[in-house]
């Protein structure tokens, strides 16, 4: 009620009747209200730092409702848009091949990647029971891995993941310890692979398995390239030393390395 009274008084009085202190207060309140309104507007209309190509695709109604919803709630927008731009590039450049994710956990990233291109066969690889003891032992007690046990990331289940992804019949699950779990996909070729396994062993094994099976133009993402996960950094560095491609670090929250498999360019004769 007090606020209403103040407002009525304010509209009755002319500005000259307020002291300088009151005017300064009014200005501050209005300024803060504008800031709050702007923040809420941008959050709920979700217009924070959207890339122009994404805005354009939305306007042209090329983005599914499910993907729009995922965008709204996914906390790492840079990671989200990087995936999307790469998936769109694969479509435009007609790069064939399956999608795969090594390190699925509850299916958050897998769901989004599947929504971005549901027409691709999508291989999900995880123990769905958390880290393997032998992988943890080899982390040499460094970084975040030193505080992890085989119980971490074990609070998931295949059924829950399948339900969460809510996908079509392009989803293929390969449950078990990686790389032992690859028996069914040795002959496949890939267009996009997301490696998010946190530790040295699976990350290195993932790069060794998928890199030679990427179609030219295909993209590999490796998540968590940062000091908290020294095993990931070492696995990426060890592997990248031996390939032609230049890895790129994406400025998303945890640092994702992106590698695009070299496309053969033929030199035209002069």
Ligand X SMILES: C[S@@+](CC[C@H](N)C(=O)[O-])C[C@H]1O[C@@H](n2cnc3c(N)ncnc32)[C@H](O)[C@@H]1O
Residue 153 touches ligand X, criterion: CB under 6 A:
yes
Residue 126 touches ligand X, criterion: CB under 6 A:
yes
Which residue bears the tokens 């450049």? Answer: 93
In this complex, which beta carbon is closest to ligand X, that of residue 56 or of residue 155?
155
Considering only the stretches 10-18, 198-206, 209-217, 247-255, report the one whose residues sit in contact with ligand X under the rule CB under 6 A. 198-206
Which residues, at least 6 apart from 19, have a Cβ–Cβ distance to it below 8 Å? none
Q: CB 195 → ligand X: shortest distance, Å?
A: 9
Residue 177 touches ligand X, criterion: CB under 6 A:
yes
Contacts with ligand X: how many residues (CB under 6 A)? 20
Residue 148 touches ligand X, criterion: CB under 6 A:
no
Residue 252 touches ligand X, criterion: CB under 6 A:
no
The DSSP-derived string for 105-130 is TTSHHHHHHHHH-TTS-EEEEE-SS-
Q: CB 4 → ligand X: shortest distance, Å?
A: 48
Ordered alpha helix ranges (H), 213-265: 230-240
Radius of gyration of the chain, Cα coordinates, nearest whole angstrom: 25
Cis peptide before 179 (omega within 30 of 0): yes
Residue 209 touches ligand X, criterion: CB under 6 A:
no
Q: What are phi and psi of 24, to 5 degrees?
A: -60, -40
In this complex, which beta carbon is closest to ligand X, that of residue 54 or of residue 80?
80
Question: Are 97 and 218 in contact, with CB atoms under 8 Å apart?
Answer: yes
Q: CB 106 → ligand X: shortest distance, Å?
A: 6
Question: Are 64 and 140 in contact, with CB atoms under 8 Å apart?
Answer: no
When binding is defined by CB under 6 A, the residue of 127, 185, 214, 252 that contacts ligand X is: 127
Q: CB 130 → ligand X: shortest distance, Å?
A: 5
**Beta strand residue intervals within 35-138, DSSP E:** 98-102, 122-126
Q: CB 90 → ligand X: shortest distance, Å?
A: 19
Q: What torsion do the CA atoms of 210, 211, 217, 223 make, to the nearest 10 degrees?
A: 70
Considering only the stretches 37-45, 47-55, 57-65, 99-107, report the one whose residues sit in contact with ligand X under the rule CB under 6 A. 99-107
Angle separating helix axes 108-116 and 77-92, nearest 10 degrees: 30
Ordered alpha helix ranges (H), 96-218: 108-116, 133-137, 158-165, 200-210
Q: CB 153 → ligand X: shortest distance, Å?
A: 4
Residue 196 touches ligand X, criterion: CB under 6 A:
yes
When binding is defined by CB under 6 A, the residue of 82, 86, 109, 256 that contacts ligand X is: 109
Q: CB 260 → ligand X: shortest distance, Å?
A: 20
Which of the residues 21 through 80 are near ligand X (CB under 6 A)?
none
**What is the distance between the alpha carbons of residues 270 and 264, in angstroms, rounded to a whole number?**
18
Return residues touching ligand X (CB under 6 A). Answer: 103-106, 108-109, 126-127, 130-132, 135, 153, 177-178, 196-199, 202
């Amino acid at each position: 009620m007090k606020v209403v009274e103040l407002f009525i008084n304010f509209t009755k009085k002319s500005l000259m009747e307020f002291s300088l202190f009151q005017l300064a207060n009014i200005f501050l309140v209005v300024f803060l209200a504008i800031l709050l309104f702007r923040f809420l507007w941008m959050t709920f209309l979700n217009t924070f730092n959207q890339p122009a190509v994404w805005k354009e695709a939305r306007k042209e109604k090329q983005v599914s409702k499910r993907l729009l919803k995922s965008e709204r709630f996914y906390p790492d927008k840079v990671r989200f848009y990087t995936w999307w731009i790469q998936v769109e590039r694969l479509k435009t450049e007609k790069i064939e091949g399956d999608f795969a994710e090594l390190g699925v956990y509850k299916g958050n990233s897998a769901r989004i990647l599947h929504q971005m291109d549901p027409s691709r066969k999508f291989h999900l690889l995880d123990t769905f029971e958390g880290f393997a003891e032998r992988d943890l032992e080899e982390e040499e007690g460094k970084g975040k891995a030193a505080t992890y046990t085989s119980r971490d990331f074990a609070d998931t289940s295949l059924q829950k993941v399948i339900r969460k992804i809510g996908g079509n019949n392009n989803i293929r699950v390969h449950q078990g310890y990686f790389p032992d779990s690859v028996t069914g996909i040795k002959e496949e070729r890939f267009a996009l692979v997301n490696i998010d396994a946190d530790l040295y062993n699976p990350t290195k094994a993932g790069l060794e398995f998928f890199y030679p099976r990427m179609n030219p133009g295909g993209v590999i993402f490796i998540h968590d390239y940062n000091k908290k996960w020294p095993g990931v950094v070492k696995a990426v560095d060890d592997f990248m030393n031996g390939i032609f491609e230049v890895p790129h670090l994406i400025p998303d929250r945890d640092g994702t390395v992106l590698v695009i498999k070299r496309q053969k360019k033929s030199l035209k004769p002069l």
